[in-house]
């Protein structure tokens, strides 16, 4: 109360009147925030879009004047990815640095104007169409390998051709003890190479694949099966092959007594290249036993009796073996040492049976 006795404390009506402007201010602040924050976000994105439309890009330019091809991508990294993918696409298995383009593409950063910013896929497609139409030439500098005058494959350089040939020779004897190798591997076919700037894409390959390709089958094996009327003379005449060669190809086959259904190898499969090497080999071989027949009057006519079983002997034999791509084609005996002498098989035989001669 004041000095006159009046109560000066605010009434409820007075408090409400005082609080009403504060509440209106708070409501207005909430509304402004609800509208202003999304508006600010939209403005930020709009400014970013304007900057992107008028920002810098990496231009790939090929050619000059009216024939120039000019595309824009998002930065130098994207441009390099475009060119790398094109080299991989048109260079086969060759390394990217062995594949070039004419005219040579140039890269530079500049402000993006009315040009549309392309993705990497779109840029690869656009330049690929220019290559297919002849506006851009793909130059693949490679060493083309010729086998007996025929182009078979292409690798990066002449040094890589030499490495491929040495790799073939090294692989041929990698599992053979060095002291057993009499003659180092050599390639029988005539191998030449020539550096070319337009090597066909179909024959381009890496060093590892080149070794596999050279050992691929160039000529399939020729086989036959003995029919009802087939004879040795027929096979020799039909395939123009000597008896010795046929026996060499079929060491376990009795050519003089061909049977119906026997499998006869006429020609082995042949690779594009033949790696020949000669090695010294030792083998333990059985010595067949002989059979001896002795007449006996104690036995009945036609009766036989084995009195001693035969037992094969054993010999240590050293050969000089010639291999072609891992297959033995010739063996020359160098020495033979008998380890065990064979034991004869002895059979007692009675007199001839009636009617036998």
Beta bridge partners of 348: 294, 305
Asked: is 277-357 a CATH 3.40.640.10 domain? The reply is: no
Task: Read off the pTM.
Answer: 0.56
Kindly compute the dihedral angle of the four CA atoms of residues 137, 139, 140, 142, in this order, to the nearest 10 degrees. Answer: 150
Dist CA 168 CA 120 (whole Å): 40
First to last CA, the chain: 166
Cis peptide before 103 (omega within 30 of 0): yes
Q: Going residue by residue through the chain (357 aa), what tens digit of pLDDT does each one get?
A: 445 554 545 555 555 554 566 666 566 666 666 665 666 665 655 445 444 445 689 999 998 877 789 999 999 999 999 998 988 887 766 666 778 888 889 999 998 888 889 999 999 999 999 988 888 888 777 899 999 888 889 888 889 999 999 999 998 899 898 999 998 999 999 999 998 877 777 788 888 888 888 888 766 778 888 888 888 888 888 888 888 888 888 888 888 888 888 888 887 777 889 999 999 999 899 999 999 999 988 888 888 899 999 999 999 999 999 998 888 888 899 999 999 999 999 999 988 877 665
Give the residue extent of every domain in the chain: 19-53, 56-140, 142-219, 222-267, 277-357
Measured CA to CA, the distance from residue 103 to residue 150 in angstroms comes to 31
The two structure tokens encoding residue 63: 């050619």
CATH 3.30.470.20 for the 222-267 domain, yes or no: no
Per CATH, 222-267 and 277-357 having the same topology is answered no
Structure tokens at 4: 């006159």
For residue 305, give the 3-state DSSP assignment: strand
**Residue found by looking up tokens 């182009």 in the block:** 151
């Amino acid at each position: 109360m004041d000095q006159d006795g009046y109560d000066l404390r605010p009434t409820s009506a007075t408090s409400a009147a005082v609080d009403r402007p504060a509440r209106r201010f708070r409501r207005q602040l909430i509304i402004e925030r609800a509208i202003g924050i999304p508006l600010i976000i939209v403005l930020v994105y709009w400014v970013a879009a304007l900057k992107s439309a008028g920002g810098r890009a990496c231009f790939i330019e090929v050619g000059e004047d009216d024939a120039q091809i000019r595309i824009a991508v998002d930065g130098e990294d994207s441009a390099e990815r475009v060119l790398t993918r094109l080299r991989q696409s048109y260079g086969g298995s060759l390394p990217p640095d062995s594949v070039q383009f004419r005219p040579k593409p140039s890269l530079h950063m500049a402000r993006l104007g009315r040009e549309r910013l392309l993705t990497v896929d779109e840029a690869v497609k656009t330049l690929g169409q220019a290559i297919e139409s002849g506006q851009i030439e793909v130059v693949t500098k490679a060493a083309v390998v010729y086998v007996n005058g025929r182009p078979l494959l292409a690798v990066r350089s002449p040094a890589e051709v030499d490495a491929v040939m040495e790799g073939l020779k090294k692989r041929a004897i990698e599992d053979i003890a060095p002291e057993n190798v009499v003659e180092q591997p050599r390639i029988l076919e005539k191998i030449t190479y020539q550096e070319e700037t337009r090597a066909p894409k179909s024959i381009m390959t890496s060093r590892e694949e080149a070794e596999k390709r050279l050992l691929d089958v160039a000529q399939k094996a020729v086989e036959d099966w003995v029919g009802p009327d087939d004879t040795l003379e027929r096979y020799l005449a039909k395939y123009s092959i000597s008896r010795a060669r046929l026996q060499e190809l079929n060491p376990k086959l009795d050519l003089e007594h061909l049977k119906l259904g026997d499998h006869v190898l006429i020609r082995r499969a042949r690779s594009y290249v033949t790696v020949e090497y000669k090695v010294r080999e030792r083998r333990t071989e059985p010595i067949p036993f002989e059979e001896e027949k002795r007449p006996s009057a104690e036995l009945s006519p036609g009766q036989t009796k084995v009195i001693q079983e035969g037992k094969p002997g054993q010999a240590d034999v050293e050969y000089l073996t010639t291999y072609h791509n891992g297959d033995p084609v010739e063996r020359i005996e160098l020495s033979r040492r008998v380890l065990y002498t064979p034991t004869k098989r002895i059979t007692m035989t009675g007199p001839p049976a009636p009617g036998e001669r």
